[in-house]
Amino acid sequence: MGSRNREALLRGAAECVAARGYARTTARDIAEASGVSLAAIGYHFGSTETLLEEVIYQGLARWSDHLERLLADSPDGAADPTVLWNRVQQSFNGHRGVLLASYELLLQAQEKPQIRDRLAAALSAGRQGLAKIMAGVDPATEPERGRRLGAFYYTMLSGLLTQWLIDPDHTPTGAELAQALTEITGRVDDTKSF
């Protein structure tokens, strides 16, 4: 019964986060959505905040896996920036609630070192994964190049995500991003400074 209640709480909290976000979800909301008592939250997670944080971490992991599958399904398109960035943007669909809640969690990280540490570890892993998937660079064998390219791709991805969360109808397409990158790299080659 205990593990079923724990899983029900995770599902209920995930529904609440998707619908209301992190800050507006209450313990009562979660208990109602999960069909489990308020006391079960404390028993299984210690606090509502800990439960909500776990739901966001799990949701981000699911989104990350989804992104990785989308990019891996296109080995020929991986070299094409238009295809690559369209797939990145496609990965956001169906994950809006948790992606938005992750920004709320960033605010909590300023006050809670354990959140900041966990997010920093996820950020590092994300950079390494993006270097490997998007640039074909193995950070284990080329650490400096992997760090540099992973940071670039993560910066691009998080900027695209921010735009998509705020104004999805006017978020740049993969073709627009590819064209801008071509213009920027051409300018860098011409001037040798950027």
Q: How far apart are CA 54 and CA 87, in angstroms?
A: 26
Q: Is 89 in contact with 164 (CB distance < 8 Å)?
A: yes
Cβ proximity of 105 and 53 under 8 Å: yes
Q: What is the pLDDT of residues 60-99, one digit of tens each?
A: 999 999 999 998 876 554 568 898 899 999 999 999 999 9
pLDDT at 186: 81
- Measured between alpha carbons, how far is 193 from 98 in angstroms, rounded to an integer? 38
Q: Where are the domains of the chain?
A: 55-188
Tell me how crowded residue 66 is: count the other CB atoms within 10 A of its CB: 16
Q: What secondary structure does DSSP assign to 107-164, as a single string?
A: HHHTT-HHHHHHHHHHHHHHHHHHHHHHH---TTTSHHHHHHHHHHHHHHHHHHHHHH
pLDDT in tens, 19-62: 999 999 999 999 999 999 999 999 999 999 999 999 999 999 99
| Chain segment 152-174, per-residue pLDDT in tens | 999 999 999 999 999 999 999 99
Residue type present at position 62 = R
In the numeric block, the tokens 């800050």 are attached to: 23
**What is the Cα 85 distance to its own chain's centre?**
15
CATH 1.10.3210 fits 55-188, yes or no: no
Separation CA 131–CA 128 (nearest Å)? 5
Q: What was the pLDDT predicted at 19?
A: 92
